[in-house]
Amino acid sequence: MQNETFKAAFRSWADSNFGLAKASREVYESIWNAFSEFSRARTPTQVDAADIAGYLESRADSPEGLTPRYQARVVMLIDKVLSHEAQVAGRKSPKAVRELLRNNAALRTAMSRHRCDGPDLEYLDQPQFERLVEVLLAWPRDSARPGRQPRWQDARDRTSTALLLAAGLSPTDIRSLHWRAAARDGPPATAFDGTRSLRVPKNGRLARRTARIDAWAIPLLDDWLDLFEAQSVDSDWLFPGRKQSAVAWSKMAQYESARDIMKAAGIEGSSFMLRHTWALKTLAEGAAESEVARRLGVLDDEVMARYCDELAEFRSRWQPS
């Protein structure tokens, strides 16, 4: 029978990953539960290389057990949960996975490839996309009280979430945008083909770039800029954490704002789903891979390869417009 300490270790790791989509969490929990049911260890701290190897061997007769990618996924999950559990307890990083890989070249190769591939892409299907756009465009009609202006936070939250979906921005991009990046009078924002562009600074592995905004979201940005000025928001950030402060919007607060808006549209998951949706939708509409990569700020060919590999599945969830 599964030990409660294994369940607690998984919950602690999963809860610490606040961007983990509900569907992904369920998949990972199923994998972890299967391993912990098999394990001879009484607690996660007692898991060793032989324990993990025995589990993988026990799965050899199942279809997924024959897939190197699946084995890599299992081992990486075990390593993440065990490492998190050790970190929380103040112990040294566990050696079980390192010892397992030392004498298993095939598994080392599979894990290396899996790290490059990353987790499965998560994105919106067409009904989810349409519901979310409807929720976003409902502002300010559903947020303003009679006789008063809408709350500036509501406008910020909706506009920033819209730009994830309408310009392929990442959450880090959203928090790093300067308000001049969206100015309407002058070079920073150039209107062409019914779109407006944003100057996006370099962020980590994402290149500095100009991101074009899909036409449906431009009214939201215009309304936000109007409100920004009308309510005298005093900040250099396009989406500040506070109205009268130089404080940047925190990662957690921005995540929660997007999550709540997505929930209002009946969508569970990370806001990265919106960036992925934009990328796949734009590719499906015929944009060149190089153009989409430039607008995303992506420099890694492996990232674009994942999008291209997912296109057939994406198209199956969308009807031609």
- Look at residue 135 in the predicted model and tell me its pLDDT: 95
Q: Rounded to whole angstroms, how far apart are CA atoms 301 and 96? A: 33
Contact 254, 174 (CB under 8 A): yes
Calculate helix-pair angle for 4-16, 22-38, nearest 10 degrees.
150
Q: Where are the alpha helices (DSSP H) in the chain?
A: 4-16, 22-38, 49-58, 68-89, 96-102, 105-117, 126-137, 152-167, 171-176, 218-230, 251-264, 272-284, 289-296, 301-317
Alpha carbon distance 100, 107 (integer Å): 9
User: What does pTM read for this prediction?
Assistant: 0.62
**Which pair of tokens denotes residue 145?**
């009280």
Strand, helix or coil for residue 16: helix
Query: What whole-number distance in Å separates Cα of residue 98 and Cα of residue 48?
Result: 10
Task: Report yes or no: 173 and 298 within 8 Å, Cβ to Cβ.
Answer: no
Residue-level pLDDT at 309: 75
Q: Residue 187: what pLDDT?
A: 39
Which residue blocks in 177-230 are alpha helix, DSSP H?
Answer: 218-230
Q: What whole-number distance in Å separates Cα of residue 225 and Cα of residue 304?
A: 33
pLDDT of residue 251: 87
Q: Which tokens hold the place of 261? A: 């808006």
Residue type, 298: V
What are residue 198's DSSP bridge partners? 211
Question: What are the pLDDT tens digits along the chain (321 aa)?
Answer: 457 899 999 999 988 876 566 777 888 888 899 999 999 898 999 999 999 999 988 877 655 555 677 788 888 889 889 988 888 888 887 888 888 888 787 777 766 655 544 456 789 999 999 999 999 998 655 444 455 556 788 889 999 999 999 999 999 899 988 877 665 544 344 433 445 788 888 877 778 888 889 999 999 988 888 887 787 777 788 898 887 766 789 888 999 999 999 999 999 888 889 999 999 999 999 888 888 999 998 887 767 877 887 888 888 888 655
Q: What is the pLDDT of residue 184?
A: 54
The residues, any chain, with a CB within 8 Å of residue 206's CB and separated by 6 or more, are 170, 172, 173, 200, 296, 297, 298, 299
Question: Can you tell me which residue has the tokens 């490839």?
Answer: 113
- Which letter does DSSP use for residue 145 in this model? P
- Rounded Cα gap, residues 70 and 171, in angstroms: 29
Asked whether the beta carbons of 70 and 64 are under 8 A apart, the reply is: yes
Distance from C-alpha of 45 to C-alpha of 215, rounded to nearest angstrom: 53
Question: How far apart are alpha carbons 307 and 302 in whole angstroms?
Answer: 9
Asked if residue 140 has a cis previous peptide bond (ω within 30° of 0), the answer is yes
Instruction: Provide the angle, in degrees to the nearest 10, between the axes of the packed helices 272-284 and 152-167.
Output: 40
What φ, ψ does residue 200 adopt, rounded to 5°? Answer: -110, 125
Closest to 150 (Cα-Cα) out of 98, 254, 61, 220: 220
Instruction: Give the per-residue pLDDT at 113.
Output: 57
